[in-house]
Amino acid sequence: MIQPALTDALNRWLAELQSIGGRAEKTLNAYQRDVLGFLGFLQDYEGSALGTASLGRLSTRTMRAWMAAERARGLSARSLARALSAVKGFVAWSAEKDGFDPSPVLMIRAPRFNAKLPRPLAEDAAKAMLDTVELQSESDWVAARDVAVLTLLYGCGLRISEALSLNASDLPLGGSMRIIGKGGKERVVPVVPVAAAAVAHYVSLCPFDLEDNAPIFRGVRGGALSARQVQKSMAEARARLGLPASATPHAMRHSFATHLLNAGGDLRAIQELLGHASLSTTQAYTAVDTARLMDVYEAAHPRAS
C-alpha cells in the first residue's frame, strides 16, 4: 500500500513542475506513470507499506533490481531511461524537502540506447511535397489551406499543433509571429515571405468567416482543422512521390532545421527558432548532417571502398 503522504508528495512535485517548470500536460502524465510504476515495484520488492521515508532508504541494489525487472518485462532502453529520469527527479525533490541523501538513486546511470535521428526530407523532396499537395485536392481553398499549413512547418519550423493553433487575430502575418509552444513557452518566429503569402492566399479563398478568436485553418465543414487531416494529405502526396513513411508533417519541421544548418545556420539560433528547451535536442541535427556527409564520403571517396 502506498501511503497518502507519498501520493500527496508526488502530486505536489508534479504541480510544481507545471507551475514553475512549465512542463506540458503530456510530460507530467508520463512522469506520473513512470513514478507510480516505480513505487508499485518498490512496494512488492520491500513487501511493506510505502511512505515518504521509504525514499530515503533506497539503495543502488534496489534501483538496479527495478531496472532489471523493467527490462525483463520488455521495456526498451529509451523508455527505461525516461522512467529513471522521472524517478530521479522525484527523489531529488523529496530529498530536498525531507533532508535525506539521494545519492544512491542519482548515481545510477541510465541504460545506453541509440537515439533516433530526425529524418528530414531532401530540399527537392520538400518542394515537391508542397507542389503535390497543392495539385491533389479538387477544391482550390483546401489545396491552398494544405499548402499554407505545410509552408508554415517547412518555412518557419512550426510544430503541426502550433500551426493549427493560430487564430484569426494573428492575421495578417507580418515579419514575425509569437508562438506558444510546448510547456507554454513563448518564442518569436520570423515569417518568411513565402509563408505569409501562402497563408494570405488561403485566407482569400477560405469560404468561412474568420473571427478573431476562431482558428485560421478549417476543415471542410468549417470546424478547426485536425492534425490527422494534414497527415492524411501528406500521406497521399508521399505515395504519389514515392517517399518513405517518415515523410510526415513533423518531417517538414525537421527539414526546416536541417536545411538551415546545411546552409550555415547557427545552432543556438536554430534552437531558438524551434523552441527547444535544451541545445542537446537541437544538436541531433548536426548528427543528421554528419551522417549525410559520411554517406557522400563512402559513395565517392576513392579510399572508402
Each residue's pLDDT tens digit, 42-96: 888 877 777 778 888 889 999 999 999 998 988 888 888 889 999 999 999 999 9
Dump pLDDT digits (tens) for 131-171.
888 888 888 999 999 999 999 888 888 888 888 988 888 88
Does the annotation mark 276 as catalytic? yes
Catalytic one among 159, 201, 218, 238?
159
CB atoms within 10 A of CB 162: 21
Task: Tell me the C-alpha to C-alpha distance, in Å, between residue 292 and each of 102, 120, 267.
Answer: 42, 11, 17
Task: Tell me the C-alpha to C-alpha distance, in Å, between residue 50 and each of 10, 54, 57, 183, 272.
Answer: 13, 6, 11, 31, 43
> Given a cut of 70, is residue 298 above it in pLDDT?
no
> Given a cut of 70, is residue 175 above it in pLDDT?
yes
Provide the angle, in degrees to the nearest 10, between the axes of the packed helices 4-19 and 77-98.
100
Does the annotation mark 116 as catalytic? no
Provide the angle, in degrees to the nearest 10, between the axes of the packed helices 267-274 and 249-262.
160
Which CATH architecture fits 123-298?
A: Orthogonal Bundle (1.10)
Task: Tell me the C-alpha to C-alpha distance, in Å, between residue 230 and each of 148, 178, 218.
Answer: 11, 22, 11
Catalytic one among 182, 187, 259, 292?
182
- Cis bond leading into 207, ω under 30°? no
Does the annotation mark 159 as catalytic? yes
pLDDT confidence of 296, banded at 50, 70, 90?
Answer: very low
Q: What is d(CA 149, CA 195) in angstroms, rounded to the nearest whole number?
A: 9
Dump pLDDT digits (tens) for 186-195.
788 888 888 8
Q: What is d(CA 102, CA 109) in angstroms, rounded to the nearest whole number?
A: 14
Q: Does domain 4-106 have CATH number 1.10.150?
A: yes
Tell me, what's the pLDDT at 293?
43
Q: Provide mean pLDDT across the span 195-215.
A: 88
CB atoms within 10 A of CB 150: 25
pLDDT confidence of 258, banded at 50, 70, 90?
Answer: confident
In the chain, where the domains are located? 4-106, 123-298
Tell me, what's the pLDDT at 136?
85
Catalytic one among 201, 218, 250, 254?
250
| CB within 8 Å of 305: residues ≥ 6 apart | 298
Does 4-106 match 123-298 in CATH topology? no
Catalytic one among 145, 201, 238, 253?
253
Q: Provide mean pLDDT across the span 27-32.
A: 89
Does the annotation mark 250 as catalytic? yes
Tell me, what's the pLDDT at 92?
92
Q: Provide mean pLDDT across the span 247-269.
A: 73
| CB within 8 Å of 234: residues ≥ 6 apart | 129, 133, 150, 247, 248, 249
**Which amino acid is located at 278 in the chain?**
S
pTM for the model: 0.57
